[in-house]
Amino acid sequence: MQLFDSLTNQKREFIPLEPGKVKMYSCGPTVYNYFHLGNARPFVVFDLLRRYLEYRGYKVTFVQNFTDIDDKMIRRANEEGVTLRELADKYIAEYFKDADGLGIKRATIQPRATESIDAIIEQVGKLVAGGHAYVSTDGVYFSTRSFPDYGKLSHFHLDELEAGASERVNTGENKHDPADFAVWKFKKPGEPAWPSPWGEGRPGWHIECSSMINRYLGPTIDIHSGGKDLIFPHHENEIAQSECATGKQLAHYWLHNGFINVNNEKMSKSLGNFFTVRDVVKHFPYDVIRFFLLTGHYRSPINFSDELLQAAQTGLTRLRNCYSAVQFKLKSKVESAESADKAAAAVAESVRKSIDTARTAFIAAMDDDLNTPDALAAIFSWVREVNTLITSSPSAADCQAVLDFFDELGDVLGLRWQCEEAIPTEILALVEARTQAKKAKNFTLADELRKQITEAGYTLMDTPQGPRIEKQHA
């Protein structure tokens, strides 16, 4: 399996620190609002990575944090007239509603930053003791000059970074170099604060993730992931403070996803061109949004538009139609002596080969740095083959094998193929009776049976693969 490592800027064979086990950390949401589609992309693609690693037999310990203390949180809590805890509780609950809808598995551990204040203070203490951080008038700052490798992830030299940082220095910050950053901010009026050896205050953003990684996963992990916008300064600063505090490499692989663009600009709250998942789901179901996010390679930018979401919905429907057709074939199957003849054996062999070929192609694509476009292409190619095979009277075992492979793929992709409601047995019986009536050229009876099916609240469609039945929705 090859993964593109942002640190080395190349694909590398994935070799875990411990055979059969993977320790993985991904930056989670700042819980002051609903998350937008740009935020959703890393949540979905690194959920996919976690699922695929598990599919390949690894035991994954996955930590994703909640940032529940920072400037945005404080401003929003003041605007809403609530405590920081109340704000976090509200939007963590809302996060899970959207994440569950998107098929994102719960992380092994999902800590809040405020639950790790003791670990943060301990790590800041190590940095100060090691000469990597210093106490100033408004907080404790990390000295970027103390870490010779600073800039190795973003591939910039410190002098270049400092030139840019000098233009962004916040008024009132008292630090030695423009590129230095706060690991502990002293208390200001109206802000939450915790006691520390350097004075009451709160953690800087970057130290939160470093401390939670060390606390829950140890000093070195296999994979650290997040959006490309986090490479600098967030992940660069994580590396610096973590490796100075522990003396060990923070992560062996750094994975970063590309942006979602709107009119060729990155979707972001700061640009005001964002759409929350909660807004989009009013027009497209969660699973369509997830499928849309999987259609592009995770490192490439993808454009957002209603047309592309509609295309994703059409694609997902094609896959589900195939699943439903096979499922219907299985439910209405009446085994006979014909199942043992040579023709049936040939169909069974074709089904087996189609699944083996599709699985091999799917794994090859996913092993190539999670190449979901190629993986989905392999699935669609297989579905075209299945649509032909199910016209050849496959056995119940053949149908079940197809459904099992569909479910195998769904577990990896985080997608459901099953209709929300199972079709009742009596409706299936009517469909089968209509099929037999058509074969007997009793079209009057066939029309009457279709009418009964429609009146019962179901839509019957005749397709080249056989009849397809769906629940009518108001």
Bind-site residues for ATP: 269
Whether 1 and 56 have beta carbons less than 8 Å apart is answered as yes
CA–CA distance, 88 with 29 (Å, rounded to integer): 11
CA–CA distance, 70 with 32 (Å, rounded to integer): 10
Residue partners of 305: CB distance under 8 A and separation at least 6: none
Residue partners of 32: CB distance under 8 A and separation at least 6: 72, 73, 75, 76, 77, 87, 91
Please report which helix (H) or strand (E) contains residue 314, including its range: helix 306-331
Please report which helix (H) or strand (E) contains residue 186, including its range: strand 181-186
- Torsion of the alpha carbons at 196, 199, 205 and 210, rounded to the nearest 10: -30
CA–CA distance, 365 with 372 (Å, rounded to integer): 7
CA–CA distance, 46 with 43 (Å, rounded to integer): 6
Q: Residue 41: how many CA atoms within 13 Å on its side-chain side?
A: 30
Backbone dihedral angles phi then psi of residue 415, each to the nearest 5 degrees: -120, 150
Annotated binding site: 27, 209, 234, 238, 269
Backbone dihedral angles phi then psi of residue 87, each to the nearest 5 degrees: -65, -45
Phi-psi region at 57: left, alpha or beta (left = phi > 0; alpha = psi -120 to 50): left
Count CB atoms within 10 A of the CB of residue 445.
15
Annotated binding site for Zn(2+): 27, 209, 234, 238
**What would the two tokens of residue 385 be?**
């083959």
Quickly list H helices, 332-464: 342-367, 372-389, 396-413, 425-439, 443-455
Q: Residue 275: how many CA atoms within 13 Å on its side-chain side?
A: 17
